[in-house]
Amino acid sequence: MKNGTIVVIGSGVIGLSTALHIQEHLPRSQKILITAREFPNVTSLNYASPWAGAHYRPVPGSSAQAAREESQARRTYGYFKRLAAEDPSSGVQLIDGEEHLEAPPPEYLDTALIHHFYAHLDGFRLLTAGETPAGVKWAARYRTFVINPPVYCAYLLRKFILNGGQVQEYTLVDPMEAFQMADNVQTVVNCSGLGFGDPKSFIIRGQTCLVRNPCAATVTRQNSDGTWSFCIPRPLGGGTIIGGTKQPRDWTPHPSPATRATLLANAAKWFPFTAESGGEFDVVRDIVGRRPAREGGMRIEAEKVGEERTIVHAYGAAGRGYELSWGVAQDVVQLMVENGLVQEKTSL
């Protein structure tokens, strides 16, 4: 069992969740350090987590990646369900969610597959023809969670520090640098988002709009042209996120006024904003963020980089960082247990 300092690279939702879960498996005498370019008190175009919506919705599929993410998402749903009940100050809230698909892909018409991906959601049911909005071919309702990302990331970081964790702001060029961040570092956990030069990694540009208007539910609508629209109320008076775009490998840093106009026009038509909104939106800001994606899904594996050193990789969640976060953290810790890097249970 290695007892040197464990260094976690990255303070996005994956890094913070993973560091917190690792911390639960360490003896009090063992140190854990998060080193990152940004922390939750700042905003940056390349620091994706504060820009997220964020909410939970299943993504059905038959690939190995879909199966892996389903397991991670299911466990994260259970975690957020408990957290919302036990500590609303975390910025997590359970509310009603709906999906409206105008041109559902084949997997949404597979009854067994839909049951597998949705059955764990409280109150899940398909909407009847009379409940389904015009133009929609597949619709469902369930209880889900929404998150106020800046509040939640600060909550995770505060909890980590109060439990004895350490933080250091530093821009790493190579993950091997992390072994020099403290004395006797033998394990580094790479939650850097894009990795370091991984040829499979790429960004997905997203543009959304934050408005002050309250919204009664989170709704996701797939449009007939393949684009998506959504509204996500942020708990604790954080307004509502209206989205959004998914633009792979698009590095444009500035928001598009035309995109904003389209997002707001769709929201006025389709989403349950309170009557006093009158179809008008009180815009707080346009948001552009870069989701760290990876071909084939997240890289979660242990890499030996010497006799006594190991890098555990956990990056590339794309737009599902919040949805997968706690399941990923559990998988990372399990991988560390299997490699003798942490103990099976917390040492007191």
Identify the CATH number of the domain in which residue 216 sits.
Answer: 3.40.50.720
When the pLDDT of each residue in the chain is averaged and rounded to a whole number, the result is 95
173 is in an annotated binding site: yes
Look-up of token digits 């998402």: 73
* 324 in a structural domain: yes
**Token code pair at residue 297:** 């899904």
β 201-211/240-243 pair status: antiparallel
As a whole number, mean pLDDT of residues 206-226 equals 94
Domain residues for 148? 5-339
pLDDT at 278: 74
* 26 in a structural domain: yes
pLDDT at 280: 87
β 247-248/283-294 pair status: unpaired
- Domain total in the chain: 1
Q: Is the pLDDT of residue 237 over 80?
A: yes
Classified as helix, coil or strand, 80 is helix
**Token code pair at residue 235:** 């708990």
* 20 in a structural domain: yes
pLDDT at 226: 86
As a whole number, mean pLDDT of residues 307-312 equals 95
pLDDT band of residue 345 (cuts 50, 70, 90) is low
319 is in an annotated binding site: yes
309 is in an annotated binding site: no
Nearest to residue 234, comparing CAs of 73, 77, 57, 51? 51
Q: Is the pLDDT of residue 306 over 90?
A: no
pLDDT band of residue 83 (cuts 50, 70, 90) is very high
Nearest to residue 330, comparing CAs of 89, 96, 85, 73? 73
* 137 in a structural domain: yes
pLDDT at 348: 41
* 345 in a structural domain: no
Alpha-carbon distance of 267 to 283, in angstroms, equals 13
pLDDT at 2: 67
